[in-house]
Amino acid sequence: MSYQDRTISCVDCGADFVFTASEQEFYAKKGFVNDPKRCSTCRGAKKSRIGGQGGGPRQMFPAVCAACGIETQLPFEPRTGRPVYCSDCFVQNRDG
């Protein structure tokens, strides 16, 4: 398929930006069906607001490893009744 540069208006700031042919080809290869809605500046600002790339440190939650009993930190909040593991025990359980 042949792609051509297209001008799109940003839904946040209203500025026009170019959706290049190479970007369109990239979107198609990734299976994206919608055009971008925001210019690169507004897209970056939105990622910062919602904790996307460069949005700051990840929230960690304390837990006790179900296998070895040490205290550890997890990138998700553990659910009651479900075992959680420290990094070392997780790798051992996954591989073994």
Q: pLDDT per residue over 29-88, tens digit each?
A: 999 999 999 999 999 888 877 765 555 677 889 999 999 999 999 988 988 889 999 989
pTM, 2 dp: 0.50
Tell me, letter by letter, the H, E, C secondary structure of the chain.
Answer: CCCCCEEEECCCCCCEEEECHHHHHHHHHHCCCCCCCCCHHHHHHHHHHHCCCCCCCCCCEEEECCCCCCEEEECCCCCCCCCCCCHHHHHHHHHC
